[in-house]
């Protein structure tokens, strides 16, 4: 079942003379439980896509459906409710609230809902176990390492059990060790909790943790790479495809 359907999506910025076409007739689908990577050179429209998926930007033409909801039909406060209930966010710079404890930060999306969830404590325990944050719950974000902070952000993103987790360069602020560590956790969430993840990155290593990678170029679908048996092979194919994208080659669909 497709949890995310993007069909003929276009986004045009600016007026008459300086129009920029950020997205150009982009279509793809994501099935529930997938771990999708979005890659592409700078200016390919990755961020625009992410903003549209996050209901922050509206498309010029085309349709986006997430978990059966047509994003176009939502008004401002419905958009907020939709973000709260169906989306999880992991940002490059964590976006944690510095004056709240780790536990309060993780619980934030639940706190923002109108009703009190009876299983708050239960959910907090589960996600902090998954992301190994148990001993840090009482600490403040300022006292954590970068990797730990990003794990807190991930815990915050999955505590509502969202339909779709949007990750924007999640390893951009981490060193390579912490990045590997964090991606393993992300992979684990995807495999054990069946969280659907859409991750935007420009780093082939980060991308190699996904199960499928969609390359976009100039706002349009360029290619797709699906993971085979080993991550190392997948990584090599990503590098190849990156070279093709930036080398101006023709699109080819590589599948095993």
Partner 1 sequence: MHVWQQIKTNLVQHRHEDGLQIMIAALINAIMYAIGTVANNRLILSDASKRLGSLDIVPSLLMIVMVLLALFSISFLLYLNSLLIARRDQEIGLYRLLGLSGAKLGLNVFLESLIVGVIGFVAGVLLGLILSPLLGMVLIRLMALHTPIGFMVSPSALLDVLTLMGVVYLLIGAVNAIYVQNPLRQFIRQQDVPVAPKPQTLWRFWLGIGGFTLLVGSLLTMLRLLPISGSLMRLLPWIPSRIVLPILLFVVVVALLLGLFLVFADFLPGLVAWFQRHHEMQNRNASGISRHLIIKRLHGNAHSLWLTTLLCAVTITMLGSSVMLFQYKQELVLREIPTTVVASGIGVDNVTDVLKKARVKPTHAITISSKLLYAEIRLRDQVGQVRKQPGVYNVVAIRDYRRAARLQRSLTPVRLRQREAQLMLPTRTGFQPVGARRNPNRAIMLPGSDTSLRLTRTTNLFPTGSNNYFDRGLLVSDQTFDMLEGTPDRLYMAKLPKTKAARRALTQLQHLDNSQNLQEYVNIGANERAGDDLKVTNRVSAKMNFWRNPIGLQASQQNFVSTLYGFLLFLILLLSGVFVVATGSILLLKQVIAVRQEKRHFQILKHLGMDPQQIRHTIYRQAAVIFAVPLVFGIIMALCVISVMNSYLDNPPSRYLSLMIAIYAGIDWLFYQATVHVMIRMVDGPVSRWVND
How many CB atoms are located within 10 Å of the residue 208 CB?
23
Compute the least distance from the CB of residue 185 to partner 1, in Å.
Answer: 20
Closest CA to 36 of 213, 237, 231: 213
Q: Which positions ≥6 away from 85 have C-beta within 8 Å? A: 113, 160, 162
Nearer to partner 1, 57 or 193 (CB): 57
Nearer to partner 1, 202 or 231 (CB): 202
Which H or E run includes 28? strand 20-31
Compute the least distance from the CB of residue 153 to partner 1, in Å.
Answer: 10
For β-strands 2-13 and 69-70, DSSP reports them as unpaired
Residue 64 half-sphere exposure toward CB, CA atoms < 13 A: 24
Compute the least distance from the CB of residue 104 to partner 1, in Å.
Answer: 8
Compute the least distance from the CB of residue 99 to partner 1, in Å.
Answer: 5
**Contact assessment for residue 238 and residue 204, using Cβ atoms and an 8 Å cutoff:** yes
Q: Give the binding site for partner 1 (CB under 8 A).
A: 42-48, 50-51, 54, 56-57, 76-77, 80-85, 87, 89, 92, 95-100, 107-117, 120, 140-143, 156, 168-169, 172, 200
Nearer to partner 1, 10 or 226 (CB): 10
Nearer to partner 1, 115 or 255 (CB): 115
Compute the least distance from the CB of residue 108 to partner 1, in Å.
Answer: 6
Nearer to partner 1, 63 or 84 (CB): 84
Chain-centre distance of CA 25, in angstroms?
21
Rg (CA), the chain: 18
User: Dihedrals φ, ψ of 9, to 5°?
Assistant: -80, 130
Compute the least distance from the CB of residue 73 to partner 1, in Å.
Answer: 17
**21, β-bridge pairs:** 12
Nearer to partner 1, 111 or 188 (CB): 111
């Amino acid at each position: 079942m497709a949890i995310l359907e993007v069909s003929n999506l276009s986004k045009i910025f600016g007026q008459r003379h300086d129009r920029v076409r950020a997205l150009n007739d982009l279509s793809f689908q994501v099935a529930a439980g997938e771990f999708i990577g979005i890659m592409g050179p700078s200016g390919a429209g990755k961020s625009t896509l992410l903003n549209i998926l996050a209901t922050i930007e509206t498309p010029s033409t085309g349709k986006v459906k997430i978990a059966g909801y047509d994003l176009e039909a939502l008004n401002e406060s419905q958009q907020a409710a939709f973000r709260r209930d169906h989306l999880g966010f992991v940002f490059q710079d964590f976006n944690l609230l510095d004056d709240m404890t780790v536990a309060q930060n993780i619980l934030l999306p639940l706190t923002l809902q109108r009703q009190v969830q009876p299983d708050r404590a239960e959910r907090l325990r589960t996600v902090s176990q998954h992301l190994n944050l148990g001993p840090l719950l009482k600490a403040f974000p300022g006292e954590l390492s970068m990797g730990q902070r990003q794990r807190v952000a991930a815990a915050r993103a999955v505590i509502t059990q969202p339909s779709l987790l949007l990750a924007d360069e999640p390893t951009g602020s981490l060193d390579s060790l912490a990045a590997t560590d964090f991606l393993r956790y992300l992979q684990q969430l995807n495999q054990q909790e069946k969280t659907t993840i859409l991750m935007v990155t420009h780093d082939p290593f980060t991308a190699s943790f996904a199960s499928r990678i969609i390359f976009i170029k100039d706002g349009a679908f360029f290619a797709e790479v699906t993971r085979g048996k080993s991550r190392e092979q997948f990584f090599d194919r990503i590098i190849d495809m990156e070279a093709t994208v930036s080398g101006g080659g023709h699109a080819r669909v590589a599948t095993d």
